[in-house]
Amino acid sequence: MFERILICTDFSDGLHRLSQFISSLKLAGIKQIVFLHVVPLWEKGIIPQVDNEKIAKAQTQLAKAIEQSPTDVEVKIEVQSGKPVETILKVAQAYQSGLIILGSPTRSILTEKLVGSTMADLSRQTKIPLLVVRPQLFSAYTTEELTLRCQHLFRSLLIPYNDGKVSHYLVQQVKQLAQNQSDKYLQQCQLCWVLENTSPKERPRKVLPQQADETLSKVKAELEEVNLQVHTEVLEGNYLTQILDTALMSDISAIAVSSGTIGKLQEWLVSSFAAEVLRQSWYPVLFFPFPD
């Protein structure tokens, strides 16, 4: 599974709380954790400068939080000044991180397109998977709840599927994670194919429910080869609505998605399904950047 993770926090996203749950994260198979806080350059003067005061304050805050960390988990603190995306990529490369965890505030599609987002910029510049969480999620958990959440960070994944090349890639990434894990951290997957509703005047569906079910059965068998418990479901309706409703009623840890268009010109014209999941899901989203 993911053994080396980079946790990026701005202290408003609640992710710095994970520094108190190193022992629980260890039970999810994690062996190295890097906490990163990026301090913006101080730009009140003519020349931008490093804000040493804020850097020192952040270092102290994180260092105090990890004092009781178990010795068999490598925990590092990085507080650097600069641009968030550039710094995240640099630190991830330095520590060979296999997963980047970051928060994602709720924002409109127009706001995101105008000002951009760290997640969108990262997805274009790295092939490292991203775990994107809502700040309200980890902030609102009690200690007992967050302990369990950290222990089962990737136990069960919801995988939207439509038999396209992005879906094929997503399944292969999940399969590879299951093959490479040293223990059963990832145990279950739920494959969900949503057939969009069509009116009588529109062209008939390219895929019928029975065909979708047969295809999912083959994918299920493929994932079961790597000892995963797999449930399949074919639904009808709006793709995004049905996936979010399924996540709500299912026992999942995260929704797994992939896309190669987030943050690119195509997103200005038609927002991708993955982008909408990232904007609207209150569940953690495990995002695999699709290779060009």
- Residue by residue, DSSP assigns 179-201 as HH-SSSSS-EEEEEEEEPP--TT
Q: Average of pLDDT values for 281-289? A: 93
pLDDT band at 32 (very low <50, low <70, confident <90, very high): very high
Q: Average of pLDDT values for 48-71? A: 82
Q: What per-residue confidence (pLDDT) applies to 202?
A: 56
DSSP per-residue string spanning 37-68: EEEPPB-SSSS-B--HHHHHHHHHHHHHHTTT
Between 182 and 107, the more confident residue is 182
Architecture of domain 154-289: 3-Layer(aba) Sandwich (3.40)
- Determine the residue type at 190: Q
Q: Average of pLDDT values for 262-288? A: 75
pLDDT tops 50 at residue 130:
yes
CATH class of 4-151: alpha beta
pLDDT tops 50 at residue 83:
yes
**Residue 51, phi then psi, degrees to nearest 5:** -90, 85
Q: What per-residue confidence (pLDDT) applies to 271?
A: 58
Q: What per-residue confidence (pLDDT) applies to 101?
A: 96
User: Percent of the chain scored above 90 by pLDDT?
Assistant: 62
Is the distance from CB of 177 to CB of 189 less than 8 angstroms? no
Q: Average of pLDDT values for 127-148? A: 90
- The residues pairing with 131 across neighbouring beta strands, listed in sequence order, are 101, 286
User: Percent of the chain scored above 70 by pLDDT?
Assistant: 88
Range(s) within the chain of domains with CATH label 3.40.50.620? 4-151, 154-289
pLDDT tops 80 at residue 221:
yes
pLDDT tops 80 at residue 249:
yes
- Mean pLDDT computed over every residue of the chain: 87
For the whole model, what pTM was predicted? 0.89
Q: Looking up tokens 């400068």, which residue turns up?
A: 49
